[in-house]
Structure 1
Amino acid sequence: MKIVFRVDSSFTIGTGHVMRCLTLAGQLRQRKADSFFVCREMEGNVISLIREQHFPVFTLPEVEDRRVLQWYERNWERDARETLSLLERHLDSADFLVVDHYGLDEKWESRMKPFAKKLMVIDDLANRRHDCDILLDQNYVFRYRERYKDLVPPGCRQLLGPGYALLREEFFRAPRRVRNGEIRNILVFFGGSDPTNETEKALEALVRLEDPPAVHVVVGAANPKKKRIEEICGSYPHLFFHCQVSNLAELMNEADLAIGAGGTATWERLFLGLPALIVVVAENQRELAEAVSAFGAAVNLGWSREVTPEKIFHEISRLREDPEKVRAMAERAGELADRDMVKTYPVLRAMMGEGR
C-alpha cells in the first residue's frame, strides 16, 4: 500500500501539520504501508525531521513564507501541476493521497484525484469545500459533528471528534497520572516553531513566582529563538531546557500543569489528563481553546496579542492557591479524551477499510 502525504511546514505554518502526518505515517508503517511526503521548501521547515524518521520526501520549489497562504490562493494550479509532475517521476500511482494543508481545497483535490485511488483530507477549519473520500477533523468544538455537512461530497466518510485524535505510541504507553492539584512541575511547550515567541513570555512570568516549581521548557528545532530560551533557562536552577525531544509524553505525564498553544498538543495533554493554560496563537486554535475551556479541562487565556506575562503570572498564582480547581481540570481533561477509542487506531482502520 502506497500513501502520499502533501503537507508543509515553516515558521508561519508551524510544524503541527507535519507532526500529525508523521504520526499517521508511523501507524501505517506498522501495517506495512509505504509512505511518501511531498513538501514545499520554506524557511523554518522540518523536512529533515521527516527524513530522520526514514520517510522519503519529494520537495517542491521554495516560496516566500510570510505570505504563503495568499500564494496558494493564487497559485493552487501551479502547486497541483508541480506536485503531479513530481509524483509521476517517482511513483506510478498511490492508494491514498493525504492532504493536510490550509492553502488547498476542492479545486486542487479534484485535479489530483486521478493519481490516487482515494483522497483523504485532514482539516480543522471547516472554512472551504473538499473533494475527498475521507475527511478527518479530530477537534472538539461546538457542534463539531455538523461542521462539514455542506463542505464534502455525499459519500465522504467523516471522522470527527476526539475519538479520532492522532497520537504517537509514546502517549499510549504512558500511564495516566492521578493528579492531586498541587503544582510542583510545569511544562512549557508552544509547538515546534512558536512564531510569536510565547515561550519567552511564559518564562518571564514563571521566574517571578515565589517558591517556584520545576519548569520544563520544550522547544522544537525550528524555533528561531531556541538559543535565547536556552540561555534564559541556564540562568535559573529550576528551569530545564529541552529541544526536539522524543519523550514529550513522559514530560507531560510528570507535569502538574502545562502552558501551551491550542494546536495539536492539546490532544496530547488531554489524553494524559494534564490541565493547561492555553494561549491562542492562530485562528484555527480559537474554537478548540474555547470549547476545551468551557468543558473545564483548561483555562483559555485568549489571543496571544492580548496575553501578557502579567496575565500568565496571575493565573498561575491563582491556580497554585486553588488545588481543587486544578484537580478538577485534570479529571475533565481525562473525560474529554476518548482514550478507549483512540487506542483502537480508528483513522488507520478507516483507511484500511475496516469497520464503519
Structure 2
Amino acid sequence: MSPRRLKRVQVAFRTDASIEIGTGHVMRCLTLADALRERGAECQFICRLHNGHLMDLIAERGYMAVALPKPPKEAIKTCAVPPHAYWLGTDWARDAQETCQAIAAVDCLIVDHYGLDRRWEEELRSACRHLMIIDDLADRPHNCDLLLDQSLGRTEQDYNGLLSAHAITLLGPDYALLRPEFAELRGESLARRLQPKLEHVLVTMGGVDRENVTGLVLDALDLCTSPSNLRITVVMGPHAPWLPQVRARALRMQRPTQVLTGVRDMARLMVGSDLAIGAAGSTTWERCSLGLPTIQIALADNQKEMAAVLAKRGAVIGTASKEDLSADLPNLLSILGTDQLKSLVSSSALVCAGGGAATVADHLLRLSLETLEGT
C-alpha cells in the first residue's frame, strides 16, 4: 500500500468525554487515530461539549475537533434504550442530525459511545463508506462493517442477533487500543519483575473519578502496615472534580505521596511501579501488557463483569469493592508476598501484549482501501 493511497482515507471519530462518561473512550480513540495517521490516514473528531470534554487535548494532539452543542443544564436522562442513552445529553436523532452536519462524507466513521445504537448508525450510513463500532458491553444492536470489543473472554456468540451478517468482529485484548510505547517497554517491564518487590504503588482511578475513590484508597493505604521505603504515586485527570482534596490528602499521608496530572508517559511510570491499585477500565490492558500486578476496583456496574473475569484468570488481585476499601485493602496488602506477585506478573502478561492498535488500524485501512480501489 503506497503512502499516496493511504492519504486518501478520511476517518471521523464520534466519541465523548465528560464527568459522567470519563475520559477512556476519547483516549483510546486518540490512540487508534495516531496509528491511522502514522499509516497516512487523515482523522477528525466529533464530540459534544459536555462538562469535562477533551476538545483541547484532541486539538493539541493535532486533530481537527468539531464541537457539537453543549447539552442543556438538565440533560436528558429518561431514555431507557440503550441503557446509556442519557450520556448523549440529547436524543439520538438530534445527535445523528448534528453529526451529519458536522462532517463531510468520509471513508470510515468510528463510533465509540455507549449511548448510540443501530438507529443512529443507520442515519449515518450515507455519510461514510464504512462504519466501525468500538464497544465493551454487547448490550445493543449495531449496523456496522467492523466491530471491536477488546473485553477478555468476549466471543462472537455474545453478539448473536446484534450485528448484521457481513460485520467483521475483532474480539479480545489482542486488539486492545494501547499506545505503541506499551509494546516497546513490555520486555523491560517483565524483566524488572523477575524478582518482585514492593516499594512503589501506583494509584489510578481513571481520568475523572467522580466519586473520589482515590481518596478512599489513600485513607486505606494509611491504615496498612507497609514497608518503610514505600512511596505512592497518584495519577488523575486535569478535570477530576476531587483533585484539590486528593492533593491535600496526599500531604497528610504517612508515606511519601505525589499526585500527577496530565501524565504523558504512563507506560514508563507503570514500568517503574511495583503494584497498581486501579479502576477496571481501559487502563486494565495497559497494566496487563506490562505485567504490572494490580488490585483492581470496579467503579461502575459495566466494569464488574470484566473485573470478575480478570480475577478468575489470576490477572488481578481480587476486586475490592469501593465500599469496603478500608477493610479489604489492608488485608490484601498484608498477604501480598513474592510468590503472589510473580503469579500476577505472569498471568496478567498473558492477557495482552500491547500491539492491538496497529493491528486494528491495518484491518480498517485494508477494508477502506479495498473499497477505494474498487470505485
Superposed, 1:34-183 pairs within 5 Å as: 34-63=42-71, 64=73, 69-71=84-86, 72=88, 75-87=91-103, 91=104, 93-141=105-153, 144-174=155-185, 175-178=188-191, 179=193, 180-183=195-198
| Matching residue's letter, 1:160 | L
Rounded Cα–Cα distance in structure 2 between residues aligned with 1:42 and 1:220: 15
CA shift for structure 1 position 233: 2.1
Rounded Cα–Cα distance in structure 1 between residues aligned with 2:238 and 2:304: 25
CA shift for structure 1 position 176: 2.4
Gaps of 5+ in 2: 1-8, 78-83, 370-375
Please say if residues 15 and 25 of structure 2, whose CA atoms lie closer than 8 Å, have aligned partners that are also in contact. Answer: yes
Give the equivalent residue in structure 2 for 1:10: 18
CA shift for structure 1 position 307: 3.1
CA shift for structure 1 position 172: 2.3
| Matching residue's letter, 2:114 | Y
Rounded Cα–Cα distance in structure 1 between residues aligned with 2:151 and 2:218: 28
The 1:66/1:170 distance shift into structure 2, 3 A limit, reads farther
SS in 2 for 1:132: coil
The 1:227/1:66 distance shift into structure 2, 3 A limit, reads farther
Rounded Cα–Cα distance in structure 1 between residues aligned with 2:357 and 2:69: 38
Rounded Cα–Cα distance in structure 1 between residues aligned with 2:89 and 2:238: 29
Rounded Cα–Cα distance in structure 2 between residues aligned with 1:73 and 1:290: 31
Residue 256 of structure 2 is aligned with which of 235, 238, 242? 238
Rounded Cα–Cα distance in structure 2 between residues aligned with 1:96 and 1:144: 24
What are the Cα deviations for residues 189-236 of structure 1, in whole angstroms up to 9, with x where unaligned?
011101121111111111233335111111111211112212222334
Please say if residues 315 and 347 of structure 2, whose CA atoms lie closer than 8 Å, have aligned partners that are also in contact. Answer: yes
Give the equivalent residue in structure 2 for 1:317: 334
Give the equivalent residue in structure 2 for 1:208: 223
CA shift for structure 1 position 316: 1.6
CA shift for structure 1 position 106: 0.3
CA shift for structure 1 position 170: 2.1
Please say if residues 175 and 356 of structure 2, whose CA atoms lie closer than 8 Å, have aligned partners that are also in contact. Answer: no
Please say if residues 73 and 103 of structure 1, whose CA atoms lie closer than 8 Å, have aligned partners that are also in contact. Answer: no
Give the equivalent residue in structure 2 for 1:286: 304
Rounded Cα–Cα distance in structure 1 between residues aligned with 2:48 and 2:69: 6
Alignment length, in residue pairs? 346
What are the Cα deviations for residues 287-332 of structure 1, in whole angstroms up to 9, with x where unaligned?
211111100010232543x33222222212221xx22111101110
The 1:70/1:114 distance shift into structure 2, 3 A limit, reads closer
| Matching residue's letter, 2:211 | T
2:362 is the counterpart of 1:349: yes
Runs of 4+ residues over 4 Å off in structure 1: 64-68
Please say if residues 8 and 101 of structure 1, whose CA atoms lie closer than 8 Å, have aligned partners that are also in contact. Answer: yes
Give the equivalent residue in structure 1 for 2:39: 31
The 1:224/1:27 distance shift into structure 2, 3 A limit, reads same
Rounded Cα–Cα distance in structure 1 between residues aligned with 2:10 and 2:50: 26
Please say if residues 279 and 307 of structure 1, whose CA atoms lie closer than 8 Å, have aligned partners that are also in contact. Answer: no
SS in 2 for 1:191: coil
Rounded Cα–Cα distance in structure 2 between residues aligned with 1:95 and 1:66: 32
CA shift for structure 1 position 149: 2.6
| Matching residue's letter, 1:198 | V
What TM-score results when the alignment is normalised by the length of structure 1?
0.92
| Matching residue's letter, 1:154 | A
| Matching residue's letter, 2:123 | R
| Matching residue's letter, 2:173 | P
Give the equivalent residue in structure 1 for 2:280: 262
| Matching residue's letter, 1:262 | A
CA shift for structure 1 position 49: 1.2
What are the Cα deviations for residues 250-294 of structure 1, in whole angstroms up to 9, with x where unaligned?
111111110011110000000000111111111221121111110
| Matching residue's letter, 2:364 | M
% identity of equivalent residues: 35
SS in 2 for 1:154: coil
Please say if residues 198 and 274 of structure 2, whose CA atoms lie closer than 8 Å, have aligned partners that are also in contact. Answer: yes
Give the equivalent residue in structure 2 for 1:187: 202
SS in 2 for 1:336: coil
Please say if residues 12 and 66 of structure 1, whose CA atoms lie closer than 8 Å, have aligned partners that are also in contact. Answer: no
Rounded Cα–Cα distance in structure 2 between residues aligned with 1:9 and 1:343: 22
Rounded Cα–Cα distance in structure 1 between residues aligned with 2:66 and 2:131: 18
The 1:176/1:144 distance shift into structure 2, 3 A limit, reads farther
